[in-house]
Each structure stands twice: as structure tokens, then as C-alpha cells.
Structure 1
Amino acid sequence: MAQRRTPLAERARYWFDSTLAGGASVLVGWLALLCLAVVVPVSAVLVWTDPDAPAALPDRLAAVWRLTGETLRLGGATGAPLRVLMSVLLALVALLYVSTLVGLITTAFTERLTALRRGRSTVLERGHAVVLGWSEQVFTVVGELVAANANQRRAAVAVLADRDKTAMEEALGTKLGPAGRTRLICRSGPTTDPAVLSLTNPAAAGAVLVLPHDEPDSDADVVKTLLALRAALPDPAAGPPVIAAVRDDRYRLAASLAAGPRGVVLESDTITARLIVQAARRPGLSLVHRELLDFAGDEFYLVAEPALTGRAFGEALLSYPTSCVVGLVRGGTVLLSPPPSSALREGDVLVVVRHDDDTAALEDCAGWVEEDAMVSGAPAPARPERVLLLGWNRRAPLVVDQLRRRARPGSAVDVVTDGGEAVARQVDDADADAGTGLTVTLHRGDTTRPETLRRLDIDAYDSVVVLGRDPAPGQPADEPDNRTLVTLLLLRQLEQATRRELPVVTELVDDRNRALAPISPGADVIISGTLIGLLMAQISQNRHLAAVFEELFSAEGNGVHLRPAADYVRPDRETSFATVVAAARDRGECAIGYRRHDDASKGPHYGLRINPPKSERRRWTDRDEVVVVGAD
């Protein structure tokens, strides 16, 4: 069979491509030929069209050469061949020198710009906040620090992470918007390198926050970062307060030792499990926690009030018209909701809920109390509870443990998951540790399939907790939210079919998925990263608040609760909030707000009112709830 002849154009193109593969010398040659192919004909046209050009052909050719030499910076000398050659040689040497000089200057300038772009200069701020690490929590932490600094003349937040500086700045700017008076500074580099960590000037910082990463082994990196911070500080004992978070309680001791005496280490998984259980037992409680931890609203403060020394703690509850007293700090020990008859001692510091920078003076609010509107008597005893746990992850055993600690005899937890044998063993271990008051039962099934949920008697449960899977290696951190959203959609369908609103508590990873969740307005959504970020930001402003939050979120201590308003004041009776405070005081509790049932589905606060004025009057219903701090 005759071979097809290759067209001339293809052969020419192939030959040209082959010559280009010869290296830089070939490229220079082609560039010179291309330039001469353009410059020489154009120079000839200019000479031949010039009225003043010489008439003789040799002179015109010499003029063409001079014009070509001037254009290409080749000297353009005429005369003997040796003279022309030397002129071209000198021009090439000059061109090489200038090109090399420009290249060196450009390289040095580019390296300097690259170094600045990578964030390699040392931060010269003082009293600034340093955030080490990058995860979804960084937006919450930095955003809250910006909100906390809104009333400051000048403030700064320095973020160090092993990411591109420009990318970090763009991400923070896009997610948070304008930073107001707070200057956001990003530095790029590993947080485990003391030399790189020194770029943030941690010795002069007001607080250092170490964020956990999204990877499974992030706790070890947190410990290593804390050790690098100690190496970067001239005197770790006199350094700034350090706030860090770990997922596994096995790393808490190591992280606490590395953080030093001024360090606070939070267990994110344990705290998340406690909040999930609290919200499951009293729907709407997650809204209260978010309100108290968010700098945009009312939050906890430590206030020294010598004028109250010697007076009973119960009197202090009605001593501020626009602040709510919830406890005191005595000798470094936090006492939330102590007995009303406890006398305040010299040096005691009150724990109050108040608006940012509220400087309200003392004022006796007892005159607003209407004793005839108060309700006395013990609350109804707790009954056994049934909880449906849809899904299983590393926090699920902690959730079961928190349920066990306050479970009444006859309580039960039904777990629905399609996990393997490892999950089955974990459920069995949780059941073995639950004790006689709580029974844990495993049901096999995929929570994203309608038939799995239809087989369940949803109406028989007091609360439904939806947990996402742990992300597999290589998966995005928010991958579990996809299955969670499908499960919520199926639960929503069951709600519509049974015409009953289910008390659902949902755990999500990404705060952006809250808007996508098909849940009723004001439902409890626990976003662990956001809550831990809020906690870290609060403690960074006052490290002594760490003990307050530890008590609030502990399983055995005094926490935040939602109680029926009818347990405190007479239903359908108009009275002041001071009356509610006095009624809660008689029960050994501290009232800090309420939730209106009529507005429970209306945003943005869903009927929640924290720290209302003591003089505020309203008509209370038997479906309203009072927010109190006290024992369970």
C-alpha cells in the first residue's frame, strides 16, 4: 500500500517545532532572524522613500545598515568589515550587561515582593491578639475579636497559618467584611516553627489563641504548636494568656502542660456533647448559649463591687437595674448561683450578665417586686426520658455519657446507624457503662433512607439527636453535613405527616449549612466549631471566665436552664421581670432572661430576651419560659 505523502506545510511545521526543542541558543537565533526579517525591509523602505537619501546604491545600503543597527542597538558603524564587526560586538556586550542588570534588579524586587506577599515581616503591634492555625473556627474567632474591639481606638489581630498570605486576607475579607478599627495582619508559615512563630510578636500580645485543625491528628499539632510558642517566648511564665482547644481529652493534660500556668485548654468534643444533651433536654437552649457567647449581645463580665460587701447574695440579685448577677468568684473559685443568704466578703468579684461596656450604677430594684404574683412550691419531678440518636461519630459516646449522668431510672437511648462492627462495639460499651438508669439499644439502618425512619415510633421520643459521620481521610471536613441534611429532610416529611413538631437537635460542621437545614425556625443547631470559637474569643478577653464556662457546661455543676414561667409567676398576670428574679432567688436560682412562646418561631432572636431591665413589665403565659442559672 502506497504511503501518503506528508504535505509541505506539515513538514515545515514539524521542522520548526523540532528546532525549538534545541534549547535557548536556537530560540535566540530564531528571535534574531525574526527581528531582522522585520527591521531590515522596513529600514530599506524608509531609506528609499527618504527624499534626502543618497543616490548611490552603496550609500543607501549603508544607510539601511545604520538604521537597522540603531533599531536593534547594534552600533550601526560603517566602513571596514572589522570596524563593523567590533561595533556589533560592543553593542552585544552592552546589551548583555544591561539585560543582566535589569534581570538582577527585577529578581531582587520580585523576591522582596514575594517575601512581603508571604508575610515574612515581624509584627510590631502590642496588646494584639494572635491566632495560630487555620480552620473553619478562624472566621468565628477573628469575627468575635473584631466585634469585641469595636469600641477600641486601635486594635490588631495577627493570624499565622501555613497558607498563602493573600489567600488568607481574601478569605477573611470575604467572610467577615470590613474590620472597622481592628487591623487584620496575616503571616504565612508553619505554626510549629518557633522562628516563624516569632513573626507574630507573641511576647507583646494580649492573648494567643491556638486553633485545632480539621485533620484527625490535629491534637498532636496543637501540642506541638504550644511547645513552639514556649520556645518563642523569652519568659513563658510571664507570657500572654494562651487559649487552645483539643478534640480528645487524652491530649488535654499534655496541652495544658505545654500551654503553661497562664494557659486554658478546652475539650471541644466534650463541650459539644454537653451542649447537645442540654439542648435535647430543653429545646431552645442552644439559642441561649449562642446569645451569651456572642459579643454582639449580652455576655458575662467579672465586676468588683465593694459597696455590696457584707450584704447577702440574694440582695445583689436585685441591685442592678440593667444587669443580671449569676454568681461570684471567691479566692479563685467560681460559685454560680450560691445560696441567697451567703454574705459577700471583701475581695469577692461578682459574675454578671450585662451589655458591652454597661456601667450602670447600683440601684435597689426590690421596689419593683410584686410578691402576690410570685409562685411558690417545688417544681415537678423529672421523669424518665427517651432519646433517639440518629447517626454515630466520635462524639456519640460522650453524648451517651452526658445523658447517663442525669438519667432517671427507666430512661433509654435508641441508636440508629449503619456503621460497622467497630460502631456496634462502641454502642455496646456505651450501654455497659450507662448503668441501671439508662439503657442504650442499637438499631441497624441507614438514616438517609425513608423506610428506616418510618419503622421508628418517632412520637414516642422526647428528643431526636442527629449526628453526622466522622469525615473519612481525604474528605472535606463538612462532608458529614450532606447526610445530615438528607436525614433532616426526611424528618421534616414525618413532621408534616404526623402534624407534630419534633424536638430535633442537629449537629452540623459548617455554619453555612444552617440556612440549608430543613428545620423549624429557632430549632437547636449545634455547630461545634462555631461554639468553641465563641468560647475561645470570650476567654481571650478575660481568662478568668474559663472557670465560669467550665461550671456552666459541666454535667454536675450549675448550668443554664429553660424553666416554665408558670413555676415562677402566675400565668396571665402582668408583672415585672424583677418579680421573676425574686421568685427564682427563692428557688436558689438566678434568672437572666426569658423566651416568649408567641415569638418562638420569629427571627432573629426567636422570642429570646437576655438581660431585660428589671422594670420591664409583661403578661406572662404558661407556655413562656424563664432562663435561669442553677442546679438541674
Structure 2
Amino acid sequence: MAQRRTPFGDRARYWFDSTLARGAAALVGWMALLCLAVVVPASAVVVWTDPAAPASPADRLAEVWRLTGETLRLGGATGTPLRVMMSVLLALVTLLYVSTLVGLVTTALTERLTALRRGRSTVLEHGHAVILGWSEQVFTVVSELVAANANQRRAAVAVLADRDKTLMEEALGTKLGSAGRTRLICRSGPPTDPAVLPLASPATAGVVLILPHDEPEADAEVVRTLLALRAALAGVGSRPPVVAAVRDDRYLLAARLAAGPGGIVLESDTVTARLIVQAARRPGLSLVHQELLDFAGDEFYLVTEPALTGRPFAEALLSYPTSSVVGMVRAGTPLLSPPPETPIAAGDLLVVITRDDDTAWTADCAELVEEAAMASGPPTPARAERVLLLGWNRRAPLMVDQLRRRALPGSAVDVVAEPGEATARQLDESGEGEATGLSLTLHHGDITRPETLRRLDVHSYDSVIVLGRDPAPGQPSDHPDNRTLVTLLLLRRLEEATGRELPVVTELIDDRNRALAPIGPGADVIISGKLIGLLMAQISQNRHLAAVFEELFSADGTGVRLRPADDYVLPGHETSFATVVAAARRRGECAIGYRSHDDSSTSPGYGVRINPPKEERRRWAAGDEVVVVARD
């Protein structure tokens, strides 16, 4: 069978492609031929159509050559062949020089722009905040730093992570919007490399924050970053304060050793577990924590007040009209809600909740107290509690341990998890050695199936805690929340079927899923990463607050509590908030706000009011609650 002849067009295209493959010389030759093929005929047309063109063909051809030379910058000189060749040679040398110069300049600019886009230039800032690493917490930390720097003129936040600079800038811009006066600077590179860390200028920074990741080796990465930072700052006289966080307490000591004496390392899982349990015991407490930890409202400050030196702590509670005193720091040790008779010594710092660092001013508010409106009965007694724990993750044993520590006789915790997620041995080891009246029961089942929840009398529990799985390696960060959202849908259906509201506390990983959660307004939702980000941002502004927060969120220390308002003031009476503060002072507590029952479903505060003025008056209802700093 005769071979089919290849079309001429295909053979010509193949030959053309083959010549181009020979390199730059072939490309230059083809470009020259193409230019001549266009310029020479066009020049001939221009010359032959010119009324003033020479009459003789030789002169016309010379004019065509001159016009072609001018167009291609080849000189266009006429005369003897030597003269024409020298003219072309000079033009080619000029063209080579100019094109080479343009190429060098273009290459240099391209390399510089590429380096800038890659984030490889050194940050030249002083007193800025440096964030090492990238996770969902970066948005919380950066947004809080932007809010804290709202009144600063030259504030800057530098983020160094092993990600593309452009992608980081786009993510921050999309998530946060305008940064106001704060300049956001992103640099690309692994923060575990001491040679890369100088890109963010940590030696001249005001604070360095190291973000934890939600990956299997996240804590080891935090320790490596701390060691790299120590190596990068070797020889630097004054080192900036360092704030970091680890998930597992097994890495806590190593991280603190790597951070050095001035470093602060938080246990993210332990803090999250404590806050979830506190919210489960008193619905609405997560809203109070959110209000206290972000920079949008009132927050913690340390102030000195020489006028109160030598006076009992009880007098300080009614000495600030627009601020709430919750304790003091003595020689670096926080004393939250100390006994009222504790004297304020010289050098003590008062821990106050106020709008800004210049809004804590003193004035006597004792005349605002109305003794007749105070409640005189005993406080509401605590009772045994029943908690339903739906799901299991690495923080679940810590939560069971927290529930065990404060459990009264008759308390019970029922855990529902799939086989392999939780075992009876894990439940027994949670809080091992604690002799309490808490009974633990493990039920195996899939919490995303309706029949599993229907078998449980969910309305008989005082609180329901919904947990997501730990993120698996390689899965998106919001993957554990998918299962949580399905469980919440089923619980919502049970609420609608029975007409009874469930006291649900939900743990989510991604803050974006908060708006998707099918829960009632004002419900308790704990965004684990966001809480740690808020804490890190607060401590970055004042490292002395680290000890205050450690005491405030400790398992057995003094913390934020929600108590019935009728334990402090008579229901149905209108009185000032100063009266509530005075009533709490009698019980050795510090009142810092309240939650209105009538507004508990109204955004944005859902009834929570932190640090109201002492002169604020309102009629207290039976369902209202008072926010206090006290021991259980």
C-alpha cells in the first residue's frame, strides 16, 4: 500500500519548527527575513507612489534602500558598497548595544519585582509586631492587633510564613478588609530557618508571636521556630518579648525553655477545654469571654493608683466610676478577687477592666449604693449536674477531667462516640486519681445519625457539648466541622419537635462556620483557635497580663462566673450597678457586668453588658445574671 504523502503545509510547518529549535540565531534570522519581507515592499510602494520620487529606477531603488534603512535603523547611507556596509555595521553595533542595555535593565527590574513579590526583602521597622507561621489564627491575631493600634500613627504587623507573599496579602485583605493606620507586611520563607527570620526584623520588633498549627507535628514546629528565633537573635542585647502556644502539654516545658526567660507559652488545648466546661456549666459564659478578650470593647489593664495605697481592696471596687476592679498584681503574682480587707501596698498594680488605658479615673461611688435594694438571702446552692458529651477528640479527656474536679455527688457525664474514637480506659484515665461523685458512661454510636440521638433523652441533661473530630493530615481545616454541623442540625430538629430549647455548647475549628451553625441566637460556640488568638493578642500588648489570664482560666483558680442576679439585688427593683458591686463585695466577689434575660436573644451582645458605669440604673428581673470574678 502506497504511503500517503504528507501535505505541503505540514512539511513546511515542521521545517519551520525545526529551524526555530536550533536556538536564538535561527530566531533572529527569521525575524530579519520577516521584517525585510514587510518593510521592503512597503518602502517600494511609498517611493513609487511619491510624486517627488526620482525618475530613474536606480535612484528609486536607492530611495527604497534609504527608507528601509531608516525604518529598520540600519543607517540607510548610499554610495559605494564599502560606505553602505560600514553604515550597516555601525547600525548593528548600536542596535546590539541598545538592545543589550534594555535587556539588562529589564532583567534587573524583573528580578527585583520577582523578589518583592516573593517577599524576600528585609523589613525595616521598629517596634512592630512579628507573626511567625500561618494558620486560621493569623486572621484573629492580625485583626486584634489592628484594633489595638487604631490610635497609633506608625504601627506595622509583619507576617513571615512559608507561603506565597501574594496569597497571604490577598487572604488578609479579603478576610480583614481595611487595616486602618496599621501597615500589613508579608514575607515568605520558613520561620524555622534562622537565616530567613531576619527578613521580618525580629531584633527590632516590639513583640514576636508564634502561631500554632493544627497539624500532627505542630508543637514540634513551634519548638523549632523558637529555637530558630533564639539563634537569629544571638548577640542581640534587648530581645523582644515572645508569645507562643502549643497544643500538647508534653511540649510545654521544651517550648518554654526554647522561648527563654522572657517568653510566654500557652497551652491551647487546656485553655480551650476549661472554657468549654465553664460555658457548659453556665450558658452564656462564652459570650462574656469573647467580650473580655477582644479589643472591640473593654479589656484588662494594669494601673497604679497611689491614692489607694494602704487602703483595703474593698474600697477600690467603688473608686472607679467607669472601670471595674477585679484584683491586683503584687510582685508579679496576680491576686484576683482577694479578700476585701486585703491592703493595697505600694507598688501593687490594680487589674481593671476599662475602655482604654486612659479611661481608668477615680471618684467615690459609695453614695450610689442603695442598701435597701440588696438581697440578703443565702446564695443559690450548687447542685449535681448531668452533661452529655457528643463526639470525641484530643481535648475531650481534658474536659472530662475538668468536669470531675468540680463535680458534686450525683453528677454524671455520658459520652457518645464511635467505636475506636473513645474507650472506657480513656474515660477512666481522664482525671485519674480524683475522688469525686462523678459517674462516667460511654455509649458507642454515630452522632450524625438521627436514631443515635433519639435513643438519648437529651432534654434530661443540664448541658450538651458537641465536639468535632481532630483534623486528619492532609484534610482541609474545616473538615471536622462538617460532622459537627450535621449533629447540630439533628439537635435543632429535636428542639423543634419537642418545643424545648437545649443548652448546647459547640466547639468549632473554623470561625467561618459560626454563621452556618444551626443554633439559636446567643448560643455558646467555642472557636478553639480564635480564643487562643485573642489571648495571644492581649498578652502581646501587655505581657504582664499572662499571669492574670493564667489565673483567670485555671482549673482551680479565680475565674469569671455567671450568677443569678437575685443573689445580689431584689428582683423587680430599679437600682444602680454600684449597688450590685457593693452586694458582690460582701460575698468577696468582684462584679464586672451583667446579662439581661430579656435581651439574651438580641444581637450583637445577646444581653451581655461588661463594665457598665456605676451610675447606670436598671430594673433587675428574675432571669437576669451578674458577671463576677470569684471562686466557686
- Normalised by the length of structure 1, the TM-score is 0.94
Instruction: Give the distance between the partners of 2:628 and 2:525, measured in 1 at CA.
Output: 21
Instruction: Give the distance between the partners of 1:259 and 1:7, measured in 2 at CA.
Output: 73
Shift of 1:399: 1.5
**Does the 8 Å contact 2:214/2:471 carry over to 1?**
no
Instruction: Give the distance between the partners of 1:390 and 1:115, measured in 2 at CA.
Output: 50
Instruction: Give the distance between the partners of 2:261 and 2:499, measured in 1 at CA.
Output: 55
Structure 2 segments unaligned to the other structure (5+ residues): none
Amino acid at match of 1:278: Q
Pair 1:317-2:317 in alignment: yes
Instruction: Give the distance between the partners of 1:103 and 1:214, measured in 2 at CA.
Output: 47
String of CA shifts for 1:97-119, please: whole Å, max 9, x gaps. 32222111111122222333334
Match of residue 251 from structure 2: 251
Shift in CA distance, 361/89, structure 1 to aligned 2, threshold 3 Å:
closer
Pair 1:123-2:110 in alignment: no
Structure 1 segments unaligned to the other structure (5+ residues): none
Shift of 1:534: 0.9
**Does the 8 Å contact 1:117/1:165 carry over to 2?**
yes
Shift in CA distance, 167/10, structure 1 to aligned 2, threshold 3 Å:
same
Match of residue 584 from structure 1: 584
Mapping of 1:185-224 within 5 angstroms?
185-224=185-224
Instruction: Give the distance between the partners of 1:432 and 1:593, measured in 2 at CA.
Output: 36
User: After the TM superposition, which of the residue ranges 482-491 and 264-273 deviates more from structure 2?
Assistant: 482-491
Identity %: 80
- Normalised by the length of structure 2, the TM-score is 0.94
Shift of 1:216: 2.4
Instruction: Give the distance between the partners of 1:10 and 1:498, measured in 2 at CA.
Output: 77
Amino acid at match of 2:452: T
**Does the 8 Å contact 1:237/1:260 carry over to 2?**
no
Match of residue 146 from structure 2: 146
Shift of 1:484: 1.5
Instruction: Tell me the SS of whatever aligns to 2:538.
Output: helix
Instruction: Give the distance between the partners of 2:23 and 2:430, measured in 1 at CA.
Output: 69
Match of residue 465 from structure 1: 465
Shift of 1:86: 5.0
**Does the 8 Å contact 2:354/2:360 carry over to 1?**
no
User: After the TM superposition, which of the residue ranges 76-85 and 456-465 deviates more from structure 2?
Assistant: 76-85
Amino acid at match of 1:455: R
User: After the TM superposition, which of the residue ranges 360-369 and 602-611 deviates more from structure 2?
Assistant: 360-369
Match of residue 488 from structure 2: 488
Match of residue 528 from structure 1: 528
Mapping of 1:41-440 within 5 angstroms?
41-78=41-78, 84-233=84-233, 238-418=238-418, 420=420, 426-427=426-427, 429-430=429-430, 436-440=436-440
Shift of 1:589: 1.0
Instruction: Give the distance between the partners of 1:13 and 1:283, measured in 2 at CA.
Output: 76
Amino acid at match of 2:72: L
**Count of residue pairs the alignment pairs up:** 632
User: After the TM superposition, which of the residue ranges 556-565 and 160-169 deviates more from structure 2?
Assistant: 160-169
Shift in CA distance, 360/425, structure 1 to aligned 2, threshold 3 Å:
closer
Pair 1:557-2:561 in alignment: no
Instruction: Give the distance between the partners of 2:10 and 2:353, measured in 1 at CA.
Output: 82
String of CA shifts for 1:375-419, please: whole Å, max 9, x gaps. 234333322222111221121121112112112233222222225
Shift in CA distance, 546/360, structure 1 to aligned 2, threshold 3 Å:
closer
Instruction: Tell me the SS of whatever aligns to 1:194.
Output: coil
Shift of 1:326: 0.8
Shift of 1:623: 0.6
Amino acid at match of 1:526: I
Shift of 1:446: 2.1
**Does the 8 Å contact 1:431/1:439 carry over to 2?**
no
Amino acid at match of 1:31: M
**Does the 8 Å contact 1:237/1:262 carry over to 2?**
no
Instruction: Tell me the SS of whatever aligns to 1:334.
Output: strand
**Does the 8 Å contact 1:68/1:76 carry over to 2?**
yes
Instruction: Give the distance between the partners of 2:308 and 2:465, measured in 1 at CA.
Output: 44
String of CA shifts for 1:280-330, please: whole Å, max 9, x gaps. 111100000010111111111111112112222122111111111111111
String of CA shifts for 1:348-369, please: whole Å, max 9, x gaps. 2211111113434322222222
**Does the 8 Å contact 1:230/1:236 carry over to 2?**
no
String of CA shifts for 1:71-113, please: whole Å, max 9, x gaps. 2233434456565555444433433332222111111122222
Shift of 1:15: 4.4
Match of residue 503 from structure 1: 503
Instruction: Give the distance between the partners of 1:257 and 1:590, measured in 2 at CA.
Output: 36
String of CA shifts for 1:477-532, please: whole Å, max 9, x gaps. 12212221121111111110111111111111121211111110011111111111
User: After the TM superposition, which of the residue ranges 425-434 and 484-493 deviates more from structure 2?
Assistant: 425-434
User: After the TM superposition, which of the residue ranges 416-425 and 597-606 deviates more from structure 2?
Assistant: 416-425
Amino acid at match of 1:193: D
Shift of 1:30: 2.7
Shift of 1:536: 0.8
Shift in CA distance, 191/379, structure 1 to aligned 2, threshold 3 Å:
same
User: After the TM superposition, which of the residue ranges 155-164 and 470-479 deviates more from structure 2?
Assistant: 155-164
**Does the 8 Å contact 1:203/1:234 carry over to 2?**
no
**Does the 8 Å contact 1:236/1:260 carry over to 2?**
no
**Does the 8 Å contact 2:150/2:180 carry over to 1?**
yes
Instruction: Tell me the SS of whatever aligns to 2:594.
Output: strand
Shift in CA distance, 38/145, structure 1 to aligned 2, threshold 3 Å:
same
Instruction: Give the distance between the partners of 1:570 and 1:595, measured in 2 at CA.
Output: 16
